[in-house]
Amino acid sequence: MPGNRVVVYQGPGSVSVETIDYPKLEIPDEVATGFGVKRKAPHAAILKLVSTNICGSDQHMVRGRTTAPVGQTLGHEITGEVVEAGDDVLFVKEGDVCSVPFNIACGRCRMCDEGKTGICLNVNPARAGAAYGYVDMGGWIGGQAEYVMVPYADFNLLKFPDRDQALEKILDLTMLSDIFPTGYHGAYTAGVTTGSTVYVAGAGPVGLAAAHAAQCLGASVVIVGDMVADRLTQARSFGCETVDLSQGTPLPDLIEGILGEPEVDAAVDAVGFEARGHGKGASEAPATVLNDIMNVARAGAGLGIPGLYVTGDPGGVDENAQVGQIGVRLGLGWAKSHYFVTGQCPVKQYNRQLMNLILSDKAQIAKAVNATVITLDDAPTGYQQFDQGAAKKYVIDPHSSIAA
């Protein structure tokens, strides 16, 4: 049996590609022990990776800003070909090319029944919800790899209807595992609809995906804010307005300069807990973005918060931030009757519809996020460049499956 090469966290700022055992049709020990269930997983499938992406959430771990241990395997944005299916897998078969939601979900618990697959109750004994290759998420092996095991395969896998078409559009379809649904979730839950004006904080890949999703939802103007010039240029490349927060000009003034008024109909936080204050050289201030979006969202507006916030941050700016307690002006949001939607995106609520948009050429998410293909061996370099603010979404091609 072959081994399995996978990206592994080696400490702050460092990842490597290591060889581990080839996957088995088994769930992790901590899940089996924690729930008192059988380890054998005839409901699972093994996929040969076609593509797998570097995510900003991975970058938080690699920066040492979570409690991830050295040796943590990485990667939760997975697209692959089924090469083995367990005896209880009925509806996907070897050769099928599928998208894998980053949420691991059993399809059998109360949360899954309600469509809340980001907080499945049966896949992580530590808390509701699990993901591949992520700290405190159940011990599931990461998918920045050659092969990966997917449990509850009939429920979790989204099969592409035509293999050749899927491979032709793989740079768009690879975004279905996480950032396109996550960005869409941020925009949709913020209430973006026909004619909306929208502010998206952050021009990283999730922010760009949220901006493109807002366009798909019919927004009239999408404004993206960031402090990295290349990322703002990328946002403008597909029709967004932008504001440069490195200059220190108050955000409402910047928005008024575009819209003629200092408020928007909906706002999205695509930055998360490593937010910084405004202006060149601004220090970290983790509540900045949440306070910004409350400030510029009109009364009664929705705030979509797909940006990651954690309960354990060793590098937090103070003792409160280190446990996820930050200085949010909740009174402002309360006074303006805002509503907030937080947490992992339940990918399965959106991925099929977004797949259809891609296949019918109604969405160009790869262009929006500047999808850039690298090899598995180049993953450490990809992490370094991403951390330096590269305006790219790195797509790892472990088996040279992606056409030039």
pLDDT score of 72: 98
Q: How far is residue 214 from each of residues 46, 176, 181, 219, 375, measured CA to CA in Å?
A: 35, 16, 12, 6, 31
Number of domains in the chain: 2
Looking at the structure, tell me whether residues 174 and 237 fall in a common domain: no
In a domain, 47, yes or no: yes
pLDDT score of 144: 98
Residue that is last in its domain, among 325, 342, 359: 342
pLDDT score of 404: 65
Looking at the structure, tell me whether residues 172 and 191 fall in a common domain: no
Looking at the structure, tell me whether residues 190 and 334 fall in a common domain: yes
Q: Give, for all 404 residues of the chain, the pLDDT tens digit.
A: 589 999 999 999 999 999 999 999 999 999 999 999 999 999 999 999 999 999 999 999 999 999 999 999 999 999 999 999 999 999 999 999 999 999 999 999 999 999 999 999 999 999 999 999 999 999 999 999 999 999 999 999 999 999 999 999 999 999 999 999 999 999 999 999 999 999 999 999 999 999 999 999 999 999 999 999 999 999 999 999 999 999 999 999 999 999 999 999 999 999 999 999 998 889 999 999 999 999 999 999 999 999 999 999 999 999 999 999 999 999 999 999 999 999 999 999 999 999 999 999 999 999 999 999 999 999 999 999 999 999 999 999 999 999 76
Looking at the structure, tell me whether residues 55 and 189 fall in a common domain: no
Neighbours of 256 (CB within 10 A): 14
Burial zone of 138 (CB within 10 Å; 0-12 exposed, 13-18 middle, 19+ buried)? buried
Task: Provide the residue range defining the domain that includes 122.
Answer: 4-178+346-396
Copy the structure tokens of residue 224.
Answer: 């993206």
Nearest to 303 by CA among 334, 338, 336: 338
pLDDT score of 2: 80
Overall pTM > 0.75: yes
pLDDT score of 1: 58
Q: How far apart are CA 106 and CA 112, in angstroms?
A: 7
CATH number for the domain that contains residue 145 = 3.90.180.10
Q: At residue 358, what is the residue type? A: I
Looking at the structure, tell me whether residues 243 and 202 fall in a common domain: yes
Looking at the structure, tell me whether residues 12 and 161 fall in a common domain: yes
